[in-house]
Amino acid sequence: MTFENFMNSIGVADPHGRGWLSVVLTFMFAWIVTYLFIPKVRTFALKVGWADEPNARRLHQEPRPNAGGLAIYTGVMAAIILAGCLAPIVLAKVQVSVLAILLGGSVLVLVGFIDDQFGGLPALFRLLVQVLTALLLVVCGIQIHLVYFGAPIDGIISVAFTVLWIVGITNAVNLMDGIDGLAGGVSFITAMSLLAASAQFEARAAATLICAGAGGAALGFLRHNYHPSRIFMGDAGAYFLGYVLAATSILGNVKMTTLTSLLGTIVFFIVPVVDTSQVIVKRLLSGTNPMSTPGKDHLHHRLLAQGFSQRHSAVILWGVTLAGGMIAMRMQGIRQTAIVVTAIGIALLLVMTVWLRLRAIVDAPDKPISNPDE
């Protein structure tokens, strides 16, 4: 099989064009920038006290820097800027969509960072900001268009469904960030699955570029976050990744015409959706507020209770996420070759990242966190 035939078989319509190369370079640049920036962020965070303190709900036993989201955000922004320099014509076609997603994501990074470091932001205020950032997408034409038997459903209902989707996934990713490597790994797998699906359609060029940046940044972060983690992404990183992935999943004028097409998008986010849904249902049945009542009732807590380690729990949920992504791609009509290549590529990158992290632990164990200057 020639290079051109292989590229066509995985959905690349123009193997000799600059579009696919820009996507690859965007992913790699976000990966490298995030990976290299995190040690600097970690050192500074320890000096100024940007850290999560141990408590009854958290698994770490000493203060842990929680500003990793800043590095993730920087990696994505740097990669998108690079994409604009490499292929300005391609980016110009989707500039409004890209800028809308990055603007909304920037607002959530700020809100998440303030809450991470200073606390005290009311849940209602954070929810209001999330709703406003979701409406920003709607104003810029990024929304789910619901139809019933070929006829569009009332626009207000479609807008409400879009806001529910964006806000729901944003919070689901944040709530899932409970053990080392889980949110970063799930975000990476989801981003790469969405990238592979969106790359099949020219109308989803914005989604493809942003997923490349988000996937690269998540992988660069995971290199430092796999157990035992050196840094957390915090609400800033979780909000940003959740919002970006939720937005890109509905780019390209997606029309949820049938139950299958609706499920096809939801299955990409199978772990955060199931995790948050079962937590909400359980807490409602027990008569507690699902949003303000913390507890150890998430999927990763259940796995830990069954005797799995943090590493094994994360890998199990990675596997479920990967399976969900491949099923979702199939439900959207993506060719089998593209699905297999995507799965193998994701698995290899995860294995390489875990191996490098474990080797680094053996070769140079992390110094005590209380001595950041040593």
- State the average pLDDT for the chain: 85
Q: Which of 25, 265, 257 is nearest to 146 (CA)?
A: 257
Give the mean pLDDT of 29-49: 94
- Predicted confidence band at 369 (pLDDT cuts at 50, 70, 90)? very low
Residue partners of 126: CB distance under 8 A and separation at least 6: 111, 115
Give pLDDT, residue 371. 40
Give pLDDT, residue 135. 97
Please tell me the distance from the alpha carbon of residue 35 to that of residue 333, in angstroms, as a whole number. 34
Please tell me the distance from the alpha carbon of residue 289 to that of residue 56, in angstroms, as a whole number. 19
Give pLDDT, residue 255. 46
CB 315: neighbour CB atoms within 10 A?
17
Give pLDDT, residue 149. 52
- Predicted confidence band at 341 (pLDDT cuts at 50, 70, 90)? very high
Give pLDDT, residue 92. 61
Give pLDDT, residue 260. 56
Higher pLDDT, 204 or 88: 204
Give pLDDT, residue 75. 97
Please tell me the distance from the alpha carbon of residue 145 to that of residue 278, in angstroms, as a whole number. 27
Give the mean pLDDT of 277-287: 85
Give the mean pLDDT of 224-233: 93
Does residue 145 carry a pLDDT above 80? no
Higher pLDDT, 347 or 153: 347
Q: What is the share, in percent, of the chain residues with pLDDT greater than 90?
A: 55
- Tens of pLDDT, residue by residue over 161-183, are 899 999 999 999 999 988 999 99
Residues in the chain: 374
Higher pLDDT, 105 or 15: 105
- Tens of pLDDT, residue by residue over 236-268, are 999 999 999 999 998 854 444 445 567 778 999
- Tens of pLDDT, residue by residue over 68-87, are 999 999 999 999 998 888 76
> Which of 53-67, 115-129, 278-292, 345-359 holds the top average pLDDT?
345-359
CA 352 to chain centre: 19
pTM for the model stands at 0.91
Give pLDDT, residue 89. 55
Give pLDDT, residue 370. 43
Question: CB–CB of 225/93 below 8 Å?
Answer: no
Please tell me the distance from the alpha carbon of residue 102 to that of residue 105, in angstroms, as a whole number. 5
Task: Give, as one character, the DSSP assignment of residue 365.
Answer: P
Does residue 374 carry a pLDDT above 50? no
Give pLDDT, residue 36. 96
- DSSP lists the bridge partners of residue 65 as 51
Give pLDDT, residue 373. 34
